[in-house]
């Protein structure tokens, strides 16, 4: 027996400019990677050279039968100095969108995926309210140039990660630990999402727009302990809910889930004994996707959901297949419950630059030989392509 996905369910893979293009030298991440005593294990360098090799990647994606390609436009290439826009860079992304369409793939464009141009980062970044208008103007210009070719747009990728890890943990740029700056950063991100959402909708083209959220299945341990429940709810409120609440009524909300977070009465708990952990430190827990889809559906008051990222960083490709299979059964359960899940996007098409972790963790369904830039689809790519072709999954 097979379990089928609804007709029109979107299948995609995702990447982000800084993780695959190579030589994005003009943003805050490049600077962060090259700082003395950087927390990054290695710099991004040439990455997967997708800036030049995108036609090959899009041909491969088409061969595998996917509907969508989610990628990001690099703000620091498009607006290298404040107010000066590069027509050549905009033309580049226009060619990327056109090449998607020529291959029968819909371009899903993210406007901000973790990286900010140096000029904006050095002038307060997300913690300064000037960023709201700056980001909106960049979205306007880009939509003016590409809007007729865009299939779907994501404003900001995982604002909750950018503000929390950058301003509370000090592990992403600007690398500070400051509660006031953290609050300023997430407040500006929410304002920037709202303002850019309207600007993109008012611009060229007519396509759905949404925010993408890093989500975790927050579990109170034990579930019957009031204090644990309270602590869980307050961590989750600042981690997710304030963003989700601001997205009610949007065209869609992007759900991006990798694992769960266990919370006891006094705060976050380590991995449960006996549950395997992955190279990024969290638990192997594919059931988290369904839990977070349900949660996003509830908090956004039934805003349509697109899984814009789900995946696993592992060298064991069989483990990847098992993970995605379990996660997809969870998606089917959510669909059975009546939740409007529009599609599933696997992170990532390619093994790529995993931020501070460098090139160690391998999330791709396609292996990249970084000396030759040769792409080699893994067995998981073939397996997922077959699921896409059948639009169905074998029974549990
Ligand atoms: C980010 C990606 C990242 C992935 C895997 C998400 O938080 O959007 O850029 O590579 O998770 O860690």
- Which residues' Cβ are closer than 6 Å to ligand 1? 16, 19, 157-158, 161, 214, 256, 309, 347, 354, 363
Residues 329-383: pLDDT tens digits? 999 999 999 999 999 999 999 999 999 999 999 999 999 999 999 999 999 999 9
Is residue 167 within 8 Å of residue 182, measured between CB atoms?
A: yes
pLDDT at position 396? 85
* Whether the predicted pLDDT of 211 surpasses 90: yes
* 347 CA from centroid of ligand 1 (Å): 8
Is residue 384 within 8 Å of residue 346, measured between CB atoms?
A: yes
Residues 292-324: pLDDT tens digits? 999 999 999 999 999 999 999 999 999 999 999
Report d(CA 340, CA 350) in Å as an integer.
Answer: 28
Residues 130-159: pLDDT tens digits? 999 999 999 999 999 999 999 999 999 999
Is residue 353 within 8 Å of residue 359, measured between CB atoms?
A: yes
pLDDT at position 32? 98
Residues 69-126: pLDDT tens digits? 999 999 999 999 999 999 999 999 999 999 999 999 999 999 999 999 999 999 999 9
pLDDT at position 259? 98
Q: Residue for token digits 């996660």?
A: 327
* 214 CA from centroid of ligand 1 (Å): 8
* 309 CA from centroid of ligand 1 (Å): 8
Tell me the pLDDT band of 261, cut-offs 50, 70 and 90. Answer: very high
Is residue 16 within 8 Å of residue 71, measured between CB atoms?
A: yes
Q: Whose CA is nearest to atom 12 of ligand 1?
A: 354
Is residue 346 within 8 Å of residue 324, measured between CB atoms?
A: yes
> Which of 368, 286, 363, 306 lies closest to 11, judged by CA?
306
pLDDT at position 382? 98
Q: Whose CA is nearest to atom 5 of ligand 1?
A: 354
Report d(CA 44, CA 358) in Å as an integer.
Answer: 7
* Whether the predicted pLDDT of 66 surpasses 90: yes
pLDDT at position 280? 94
* 251 CA from centroid of ligand 1 (Å): 22
Report d(CA 218, CA 229) in Å as an integer.
Answer: 10
The atom number, within ligand 1, closest to the CA of 363 reads 5
> Which of 146, 126, 127 lies closest to 135, judged by CA?
126
The atom number, within ligand 1, closest to the CA of 280 reads 12
Q: Residue for token digits 């090139």?
A: 359
Q: Hey, is 62 helix, strand or coil?
A: helix
* Whether the predicted pLDDT of 1 surpasses 90: no
* Average pLDDT of the segment spanning 178-196: 98
The atom number, within ligand 1, closest to the CA of 352 reads 10
């Amino acid at each position: 027996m097979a379990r089928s996905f609804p007709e029109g369910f979107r299948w995609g893979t995702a990447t982000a400019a800084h993780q695959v293009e190579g030589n994005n030298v003009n943003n805050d991440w490049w600077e962060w990677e090259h700082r003395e005593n950087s927390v990054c294990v290695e710099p991004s360098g040439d990455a997967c050279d997708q800036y030049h090799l995108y036609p090959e990647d899009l041909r491969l994606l088409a061969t595998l039968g996917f509907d969508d390609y989610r990628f990001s436009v690099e703000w620091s290439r498009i607006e290298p100095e404040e107010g000066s826009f590069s027509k050549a860079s905009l033309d580049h992304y226009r060619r990327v969108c056109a090449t998607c369409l020529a291959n029968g793939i819909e371009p899903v464009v993210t406007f901000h995926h973790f990286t900010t141009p140096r000029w904006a980062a050095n002038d307060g970044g997300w913690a300064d309210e000037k960023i709201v208008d700056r980001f909106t103007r960049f979205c306007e210009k880009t939509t003016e140039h590409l809007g007729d070719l865009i299939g779907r747009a994501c404003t900001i990728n995982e604002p909750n990660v950018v503000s929390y890890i950058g301003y509370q943990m000090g592990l992403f740029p600007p690398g500070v630990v400051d509660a006031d700056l953290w609050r300023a950063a997430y407040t500006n991100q929410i304002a920037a999402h709202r303002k850019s959402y309207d600007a993109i909708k008012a611009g060229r083209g007519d396509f759905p727009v949404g925010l993408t959220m890093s989500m975790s299945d927050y579990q109170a341990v034990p579930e019957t302990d009031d204090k644990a429940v309270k602590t869980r709810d307050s961590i989750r409120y600042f981690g997710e809910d304030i963003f989700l609440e601001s997205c009610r009524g949007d065209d869609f909300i992007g759900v991006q889930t990798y694992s769960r977070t266990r919370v006891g009465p006094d705060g976050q708990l380590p991995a449960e004994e006996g549950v395997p952990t992955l190279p990024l430190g969290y638990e192997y827990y594919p059931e988290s996707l369904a839990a977070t889809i349900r949660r996003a559906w509830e908090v956004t008051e039934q805003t349509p959901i697109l899984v814009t990222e789900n995946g696993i960083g592992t060298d064991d490709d069989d483990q990847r297949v098992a993970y995605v299979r379990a996660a997809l059964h969870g998606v089917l359960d959510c669909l059975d419950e009546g939740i409007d899940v529009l599609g599933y996007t696997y992170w990532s098409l390619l093994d790529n630059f995993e931020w501070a972790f460098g090139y160690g963790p391998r999330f791709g369904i396609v292996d990249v030989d970084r000396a030759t830039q040769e792409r080699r689809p893994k067995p998981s790519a073939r397996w997922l392509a077959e699921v896409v072709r059948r639009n169905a999954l074998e029974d549990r």
